[in-house]
């Protein structure tokens, strides 16, 4: 019996850890929040499909929040860009258990980038959220709040 429990632990533990670390793949409108602050990082996340997702890291003054934005191509097609020290206001859904947000809209100055429809579905095509909401399937991210 101990062998079976040990074998189950070897097989199931990594799967349980992976599922606990994987954010939900559906935008949760009920978890929507407003985040405003200064960009302290712009991070590209390339995928095996040769697309690049963009995340921004925003310091609100109270916390540091990773914002999962969209594929870089979609951002560029909308004549938008992000630079460190830009001030932004984001409406999006908090990712459960993390200091991360899937962005629905981002305001920078008087310009607004709409990333998702009211129901949370992405406006880019294909409408796949990827592993973490930025629209690109990439390797799992290391989650830290150290900056």
For 14-26, how does the pLDDT look when each residue is reduced to its tens digit (9 = 90+)? 444 443 444 446 8
Closest CA to 75 of 59, 51, 47: 51
Omega before residue 24 within 30° of 0, cis: no
In-domain check, residue 127:
no
Supply the pTM of this predicted model.
0.71
In-domain check, residue 62:
yes
Q: Give me the number of domains the chain comprises.
A: 1
In-domain check, residue 1:
no
Domain region containing 93: 26-114
- Structural contact between residues 43 and 56, judged by C-beta atoms closer than 8 angstroms: yes
pLDDT digits 0-9 by tens, 81-95: 999 999 999 999 998
Average pLDDT over the chain, rounded to whole?
78
pLDDT value at residue 80: 96
Q: What is the CATH number of the domain that holds 103?
A: 2.40.50.140
pLDDT value at residue 144: 54
Distance, CA of 106 to CA of 58 (rounded, Å): 12
Closest CA to 100 of 39, 43, 57, 46: 57
Distance, CA of 89 to CA of 107 (rounded, Å): 5
In-domain check, residue 130:
no
């Amino acid at each position: 019996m101990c062998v079976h429990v040990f074998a189950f632990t070897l097989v199931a533990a990594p799967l349980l850890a992976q599922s606990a670390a994987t954010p939900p793949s559906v935008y949760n409108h009920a978890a929507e929040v407003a985040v405003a602050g200064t960009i302290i990082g712009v991070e590209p996340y390339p995928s095996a499909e040769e697309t690049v997702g963009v995340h921004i890291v925003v310091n609100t003054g109270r916390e540091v929040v990773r914002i999962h934005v969209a594929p870089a191509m979609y951002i560029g097609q909308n004549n938008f860009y992000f630079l460190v020290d830009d001030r932004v206001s984001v409406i999006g859904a908090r990712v459960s258990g993390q200091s991360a947000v899937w962005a629905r809209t981002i305001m920078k100055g008087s310009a607004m980038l709409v990333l998702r429809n009211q129901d949370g579905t992405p406006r880019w095509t294909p409408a796949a959220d990827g592993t973490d909401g930025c629209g690109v399937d990439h390797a799992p991210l290391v989650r830290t709040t150290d900056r």
